[in-house]
């Protein structure tokens, strides 16, 4: 894995005041792992075991580096060279892929605020509320666990964006120029289907 740092400088938002080398915290901090791996299905606890299927690559020729996975085996990957500021692509074993964040801090906020994001685009408002309610029923202390994970990662829970904001960002990434940069092809050379072909409704 590459060493990396969270974005800094005048262009970095105060809400992104995360520690350097955020990725190791995702795999080692007890509170972060409990929420991200246990609730948000983002497991970065054993990066050396993460390996993409043979032939899965970026059409652009840029590097595709897996750093975490979901329980299903789906992959979270960095695009190109650099650190934690790189775009993040999600590669599904169902043959879908697409950008989901501009950097690891943005992925962390998405995972904290809307861990049900995979179900969001294309669903109605009522269906989205039902998905969110199911998560909260399964994790009665959802807010407490989310807030503890956020603090463990150097984030102020009060400064986290709304679910509507992070879900709208998914659609923005899917339709913007980063989508072309992050186009993933399979072992047969054909592009994988986009994750989010339709707009996400507001939750």
Contact 5, 16 (CB under 8 A): no
Per-residue pLDDT of the chain (203 residues; tens, 9 = 90+): 333 333 333 333 333 333 348 899 999 999 999 999 999 999 999 877 777 888 899 999 999 999 999 988 999 999 999 999 999 999 999 999 999 999 999 999 999 999 999 988 778 888 888 999 998 999 999 999 999 999 999 999 999 999 989 998 998 998 888 998 899 999 889 999 998 865 444 44
Residue 5 lies in a domain: no
Residue 198 lies in a domain: no
Q: How many domains does the chain have?
A: 1
Question: In degrees, to the nearest 5, what angle opens at C-alpha 26 toward C-alphas 67 and 177?
Answer: 50
CA distance 182 to 80: 9
Residue entry with tokens 């994001």: 117
Q: Where are the beta strands (DSSP E) in 8-114?
A: 57-58, 64-69, 75-79, 87-91, 96-102
pLDDT reported for residue 2: 33
Residue 80 is part of which domain span? 14-187
Residue 83 lies in a domain: yes
| 198 CB-near residues (< 8 Å, 6+ apart) | 121, 122
Residue 196 lies in a domain: no
Q: Is 186 exposed, middle or buried (0-12, 13-18, 19+ CB in 10 A)?
A: middle
Contact 128, 203 (CB under 8 A): yes
For the chain, the farthest-separated pair of C-alpha atoms sits apart, in whole angstroms, at 46
Residue 29 lies in a domain: yes
Residue 114 lies in a domain: yes
Residue 109 lies in a domain: yes
pLDDT reported for residue 72: 87
Which residues are 191's β-sheet partners? 185
């Amino acid at each position: 894995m590459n060493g990396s740092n969270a974005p800094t400088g005048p262009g970095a938002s105060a809400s992104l005041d995360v520690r350097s080398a955020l990725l190791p915290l995702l795999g080692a901090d007890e509170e972060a792992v409990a929420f991200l791996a246990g609730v948000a299905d983002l497991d970065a606890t054993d990066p050396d075991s993460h390996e993409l299927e043979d032939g899965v690559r970026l059409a652009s020729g840029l590097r595709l580096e897996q750093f975490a996975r979901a329980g299903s085996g789906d992959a979270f990957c960095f695009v190109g060279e650099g650190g934690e500021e790189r775009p993040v692509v999600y590669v599904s074993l169902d043959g879908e892929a697409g950008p989901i964040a501009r950097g690891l801090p943005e992925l962390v906020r998405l995972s904290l605020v809307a861990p049900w994001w995979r179900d969001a685009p294309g669903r109605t408002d009522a269906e989205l509320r039902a998905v969110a309610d199911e998560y909260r029923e399964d994790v009665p202390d959802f807010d407490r666990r989310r807030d503890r994970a956020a603090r463990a990662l150097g984030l102020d829970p009060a400064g986290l964006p709304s679910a509507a904001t992070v879900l709208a960002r998914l659609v923005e990434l899917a339709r913007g120029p980063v989508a072309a940069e992050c186009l993933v092809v399979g072992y047969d050379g054909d592009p994988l289907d986009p994750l989010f072909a339709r707009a996400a409704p507001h939750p």
